[in-house]
Structure 1
Amino acid sequence: MSGRGLDPQGYIEREGSLGRIPHAFRPVVAAARDRVLDVFGARLTSAYLYGSIPRGTARVGRSDLDLLLALREEPTEADRADARALEEALDKEFAQIDGVGTLLLSRARVLSDLETYDLGWFVACLCTPLLGEDLAEYLPRYRPDSLLARETNGELALLLPRWRERIDAAADADTDMGTDTDIAEALRPLVRYMSRHLVRTGFTLVMPRWNGWTSDLREMAEAFGGYYPRRAAEMRQAAVRGYEPSGELAVLRSYVDDLGPWLAEEYARVHGVKAPRPDGP
């Protein structure tokens, strides 16, 4: 790797490998591999790991297990129910992980023209093969350019109304909860998700100028701050919350009332808007 996540030709290197999985997480990955085969069998064409575990940066008791499963056909509701049951079983059995997330997709969707610079890039560069064929063999190599920026994170303006609905629902639920601790715990996953999404969007906004790739939230925030110093402190704070989320409703409100709208407008100005998907953003 020549630096900043690129190979000597300037293409984004694939991050992660099975060899980088920390020892404490290897039993989790082994169980996940076996159970994915048991549950999906011939329906499965490919299974991948992504996130901190294959990157070797996972923290025991704090990191989640992230899976991407590509099926031979479009996932059904039964498939999604099977995936949820698999997630719950693994999370319950292994204290090393704090949750399991599964992206369930069809092989055809991953390899579609529409997804070449979004899901295709994600599989080719950010996912580590676990089972089956590696779909990266059918995909191009990727540079950190404006097309990739637009197609990976150019939908923030469409997401913000949904985020507001989720925040409003969380605020309404506050009255039904007991202590402040209960409320904070309920909000933490939302803070973590939105913080990470905003930091990644901020990073891909500047990615072509920075000319590289990283999945480290703090490094992403620093790269962003080099080009947008007036927003640098906010992005650094969001990166911290992406790793150590606080359950504060005010933080979520600031994301959808200030940082998010500004970032969506600037993103559209610089890179344009992501091509619409039939099922929305």
Structure 2
Amino acid sequence: MRSRGLDAQGHIAPEGALGLIPREFGPVVVTARDRLMDVFGARLNSAYLYGSVPRGTARVGTSDLDLLLVLREEPTEEDRADARSLDSALDKEFAQIDGSGTLLFSRTRLLSGLETHDLGWFVACLCTRLLGEDLAEYLPRYRPDSLLARETNGDLALLLPRWHERIADTAADTADTAESRRRLVRFMSRHLVRTGFTLVMTRWNGWTSDLTEMAEAFAVYYPERAVEMRRAAVLGHEPSGDLAVLRSYVDDLGPWLAEEYARVHGVKAPRPGQGAGI
């Protein structure tokens, strides 16, 4: 029996399955799987789907395809370029998806002690195996506790300076600005809602990946910030290209959330290259 995303023992239950993939997205997944083998071949240890597609909640034309690849060695720039090319090709070929994104990690890093409650948890609970070895077999069971909260989203303060830079870049860009801003609003909205949820996860005592449910759980404990978080949840699904929204994230909601997160759960253990992503 599951309650709030937990199994009978109180562990976070894996949320996706190949059998949950909506029929319309079947051709996208099959093509992605075949091309992954063609592109990465023996370099590939495992491939996973995550996000709305394996959860069965993907929306045609508005959901993206999310892939996580585990390589036998540390990813190279060539590997990352190959992944970007694959993402671009899938996005252009299939109208069902609004973008494709691929994360790359080595098997050694993913199974390291430093990543047990971050990447390890992500693979064990939020990813659905598509190809190769299932690394969840080497990982523990997870509960919605403060350690998990800290190690998953306790680095927001380090990300905010890079977000400032990205916003400045897209504000100055005259080519495809609206689309760049829209994608940035979607990414930052989702990240902030998920961070807001993991802030209260231990008190809520459960797990969900539904942005609306995350925002509502957050609102119970921080009603003074409920309107902002609910709005971010909406924009996570239907983003605008409004620069004012982005600036409010890095000037107000983001800094407040980072400070409160550190107060409640502490700061995430440093990682190599931490804060370098968008």
Q: TM-score, normalised by structure 1?
A: 0.96
* Equivalent position of 2:142 in the other structure: 142
For these two proteins, the number of residue pairs brought into alignment is 275
Separation in 2, partners of 1:106, 1:186:
29
* Equivalent position of 1:274 in the other structure: 268
Separation in 2, partners of 1:171, 1:35:
35
Separation in 1, partners of 2:145, 2:260:
16
Q: Helix, strand or coil for the counterpart of 1:118?
A: helix
Amino acid at match of 1:164: H
Separation in 2, partners of 1:171, 1:43:
39
Structure 2 counterpart of 1:265, from 245, 259, 271 = 259
Identity, in percent, stands at: 79
5 Å-filtered alignment, 1:190-229, equals 190-229=184-223
Q: Helix, strand or coil for the counterpart of 1:263?
A: helix
Q: Does 1:102 align with 2:96?
A: no
Separation in 2, partners of 1:137, 1:15:
16
Structure 1 residue 87: Cα displacement: 1.1
Structure 1 residue 278: Cα displacement: 1.7
5 Å-filtered alignment, 1:147-186, equals 147-173=147-173, 176=174, 183-186=177-180
Structure 1 residue 158: Cα displacement: 0.5
Q: Helix, strand or coil for the counterpart of 1:67?
A: strand
* Equivalent position of 1:122 in the other structure: 122
Q: Helix, strand or coil for the counterpart of 2:240?
A: coil
4+ runs deviating over 6 angstroms: none
* Equivalent position of 2:132 in the other structure: 132
Amino acid at match of 2:102: T
Q: Helix, strand or coil for the counterpart of 2:144?
A: coil
Q: Helix, strand or coil for the counterpart of 1:185?
A: helix
* Equivalent position of 2:239 in the other structure: 245
Structure 1 residue 95: Cα displacement: 1.1
Structure 1 residue 185: Cα displacement: 2.7
Q: TM-score, normalised by structure 2?
A: 0.97
Separation in 1, partners of 2:119, 2:206:
19
Q: Does 1:8 align with 2:8?
A: yes
Amino acid at match of 1:166: R
Q: Helix, strand or coil for the counterpart of 2:117?
A: coil
* Equivalent position of 1:255 in the other structure: 249
Separation in 1, partners of 2:225, 2:192:
12
* Equivalent position of 2:90 in the other structure: 90
Structure 1 residue 186: Cα displacement: 2.8
* 1:143-189 C-alpha deviation (Å, 9 max, x unpaired): 0000000000000000111101111111122xx35xxxx64333100
* 1:55-109 C-alpha deviation (Å, 9 max, x unpaired): 0000111111110000000011111111111111111111111111000110111
Contact 2:212 2:230 in 1 (8 A): yes
Q: Helix, strand or coil for the counterpart of 1:68?
A: strand
Separation in 1, partners of 2:58, 2:168:
32
Give 5+ residue unaligned stretches, structure 1: none
Separation in 2, partners of 1:69, 1:186:
25
Structure 1 residue 242: Cα displacement: 0.4
Separation in 1, partners of 2:214, 2:187:
15
Amino acid at match of 2:147: L
* Equivalent position of 2:39 in the other structure: 39
Contact 2:87 2:102 in 1 (8 A): yes
Structure 1 residue 2: Cα displacement: 1.9
Separation in 2, partners of 1:232, 1:88:
36
